[in-house]
Chain A
């Protein structure tokens, strides 16, 4: 087994990737995927093995530059002959090729990569990019070539990492490509009109039953692929039941409260909780409802992947304030859910009445709840 050096991925794969196996990073267009291949290569070379990068998407010099932005010294690996390039780009761009092997005709790709695999037994090869190859060659030819490369890699104990962007190909082609490798890792986007987050998930691995959890990540320069626990914001006017909501959806929670007018507790700093719902893991941050804390709302909204806006259904006089808070989070493109709390109180408005009174767009779900009795809380979580 070799470590991928991608945080969390080794856990999902039962410790790492077996020697001689093939991995496909299958990305939705717009999701960062090259960093995964480069990070695995960099880690494995640092561990003392050898490798190559096949590129048909940019000249080797640019890849060296990309590595340097991540904080990895590819230049040194090249000098020490720990890594070499299979340059499938320069000749096509009309610039002098660089690297141990270069390609000036598509028909050479298959053989040259086989040679490269032979050169680095127990090592790692990164193929960037498979989708670019797919549009140049026939589909059947590509499947055949991948088959040959993987077979040779197995014989030589070499790991092959394929970078693949899932443009709008025929689903059958994508399926065939996925079936040609030992391990598929899907890179997807979390979208609310724009990409607001990126996640990876192991779709299949021939050597283990992988965990199907999705992990959110971002790519840092320098740093590479980093995972993060998303934040969910809980906000709403004063006394709407935010703290109770955070408590009821979290396994554990902390709240900083003080007795308001010595009668009931009110949050004066923040409620913090942690939710684990259907494989989705998130930290929950509840803000105080008073206006003087709005500064905090701005900051938290920027870092959140979603927001619950709590309202007291029986207190329509607070709706204007709720609307103002929605606006404050609106500038951030994150999904929002209105939790219409205190449905059990006399005079509580129904979700339809609330929508009308607050003039809310239909795209924003309104979930009726009685947080204190745990009614509707589960439904609010499902709405995400």
Chain B
């Protein structure tokens, strides 16, 4: 039996149900979600994050697209308030994009700043983030949203190395990581390498969600919609 954690996306756990009755995201495996821009990849991972938080599964979230404020607003738009989880330190946020030289928002125990073009620093922060979360709960989730921005600001091969180190670190600690990537924004070889690093591959194209690979089940797909409550699989 493959133990799974609830995805938080209505219909997804049913779509991925295996013969032994489990469905969701296989626990302690790595997932890549990719597809064109504006197809709901971030919404998917935000739902995944929020589900974890409400299930007492903390989340290590590395944001490279939206700074803290924007991330918080986006979550609130879908009625997924995160303030409480930031306050109780179960949402551990590494913000690599807010310009800290201006304004310098204060860091707290679980809100950490880093720099998009400094993978060394990002990895240090991920290392201490994993330790921090693991100490409180060995079952946790992690999200990088998105690899695309990391790739845009750095040499691609370097980011592949960084993502590998990230997945290894989170997997070793028992966590379940998801990486977001916007299709066709990097060389096809980088795309292939990204896919080869993960256990599960999910593609979204705005109309359908495809399970291209997942531990324990064959390929599947289903139409989906982006609603006011997030992604719903039909």
A→B interface (CB under 8 Å): 27, 29-34, 56-59, 61-62, 64-65, 89, 92-93, 129, 131-132, 135-136, 163, 165, 167-169, 189, 191, 193-196, 331-333
What are 26 inter-chain pairs, A to B, with CB distance below 8 A? A29-B120, A29-B123, A30-B127, A30-B165, A31-B127, A34-B120, A34-B121, A57-B115, A57-B119, A58-B117, A58-B121, A59-B101, A62-B101, A89-B117, A93-B117, A129-B118, A132-B119, A132-B154, A132-B155, A135-B155, A167-B119, A167-B162, A167-B164, A189-B127, A193-B172, A194-B130
Given A34-B120, A57-B115, A93-B153, A168 and B164 contact (CB-CB distance below 8 Å) = yes
Is A167 a contact partner of B165 (Cβ separation < 8 A)?
A: yes
How far apart sit A178 and B131, CA to CA, in the bound complex (Å)? 30
How far apart sit A277 and B150, CA to CA, in the bound complex (Å)? 44
How far apart sit A59 and B153, CA to CA, in the bound complex (Å)? 13
Chain B nearest Cβ from A356, distance in angstroms: 25
Residues of A within 8 A of B169 (CB): 30, 194
Q: How many residues of B contact A (CB 8 A)?
A: 31
Is B174 a contact partner of A27 (Cβ separation < 8 A)?
A: no
Chain A nearest Cβ from B47, distance in angstroms: 26
Residues of A within 8 A of B128 (CB): 195
Contact of B135 among A29, A61, A131, A332 (CB under 8 A): A332
Is B124 a contact partner of A62 (Cβ separation < 8 A)?
A: no
Is A168 a contact partner of B126 (Cβ separation < 8 A)?
A: no
Contact of B124 among A32, A58, A65, A168 (CB under 8 A): A32
- Which among B121, B135, B164 has the highest number of chain A CB atoms within 10 Å? B121
Is A168 a contact partner of B174 (Cβ separation < 8 A)?
A: no
Given A65-B104, A168-B165, A196 and B120 contact (CB-CB distance below 8 Å) = no
Residues of B within 8 A of A30 (CB): 123-124, 126-127, 165, 169
Name which residue of chain B comes closest to A196, CB basis.
Answer: B131
Q: Report if B158 contacts A (CB, 8 A).
A: yes
Residues of A within 8 A of B161 (CB): 29, 135, 167-169
- Which among A59, A62, A65 has the highest number of chain B CB atoms within 10 Å? A62
Q: Report if B82 contacts A (CB, 8 A).
A: no
How far apart sit A84 and B37, CA to CA, in the bound complex (Å)? 41
How far apart sit A59 and B117, CA to CA, in the bound complex (Å)? 9
Closest 8 CB pairs of A and B: A30-B127, A167-B161, A57-B118, A135-B158, A135-B155, A61-B101, A58-B115, A29-B165
Q: Report if B134 contacts A (CB, 8 A).
A: yes
Is A194 a contact partner of B158 (Cβ separation < 8 A)?
A: no
How far apart sit A191 and B126, CA to CA, in the bound complex (Å)? 14
Contact of A193 among B124, B153, B154, B174 (CB under 8 A): B174
Is A193 a contact partner of B158 (Cβ separation < 8 A)?
A: no
Is B164 a contact partner of A333 (Cβ separation < 8 A)?
A: no
Chain B nearest Cβ from A370, distance in angstroms: 35
Is A195 a contact partner of B131 (Cβ separation < 8 A)?
A: yes
Chain A nearest Cβ from B176, distance in angstroms: 14
How far apart sit A33 and B134, CA to CA, in the bound complex (Å)? 23
Contact of A135 among B117, B131, B153, B157 (CB under 8 A): B157
How far apart sit A171 and B162, CA to CA, in the bound complex (Å)? 17
Is B131 a contact partner of A194 (Cβ separation < 8 A)?
A: yes
Residues of B within 8 A of A32 (CB): 124
Task: Please give 17 more A-B residue pairs, beta carbons under 8 A apart, in addition to A93-B153, A194-B172.
Answer: A30-B165, A31-B124, A34-B121, A57-B118, A59-B101, A62-B101, A65-B101, A132-B119, A132-B120, A135-B155, A163-B120, A168-B164, A169-B161, A193-B172, A194-B127, A196-B131, A333-B131
How far apart sit A299 and B99, CA to CA, in the bound complex (Å)? 37
Contact string, B82-107, partner A, CB cutoff 8 A, digits 1/0?
00000000000000000011001000
Q: Report if B173 contacts A (CB, 8 A).
A: yes
Contact string, B145-161, partner A, CB cutoff 8 A, digits 1/0?
00000000111011001
Name which residue of chain A comes closest to B169, CB basis.
Answer: A30
Given A30-B124, A65-B100, A194-B131, A136 and B155 contact (CB-CB distance below 8 Å) = yes
How far apart sit A277 and B134, CA to CA, in the bound complex (Å)? 30
Is B155 a contact partner of A193 (Cβ separation < 8 A)?
A: no
How far apart sit A31 and B164, CA to CA, in the bound complex (Å)? 16
Residues of B within 8 A of A189 (CB): 127
Chain B nearest Cβ from A62, distance in angstroms: 6
Is B165 a contact partner of A62 (Cβ separation < 8 A)?
A: no
Given A65-B104, A135-B155, A129 and B120 contact (CB-CB distance below 8 Å) = yes
How far apart sit A165 and B172, CA to CA, in the bound complex (Å)? 20
How far apart sit A56 and B119, CA to CA, in the bound complex (Å)? 11
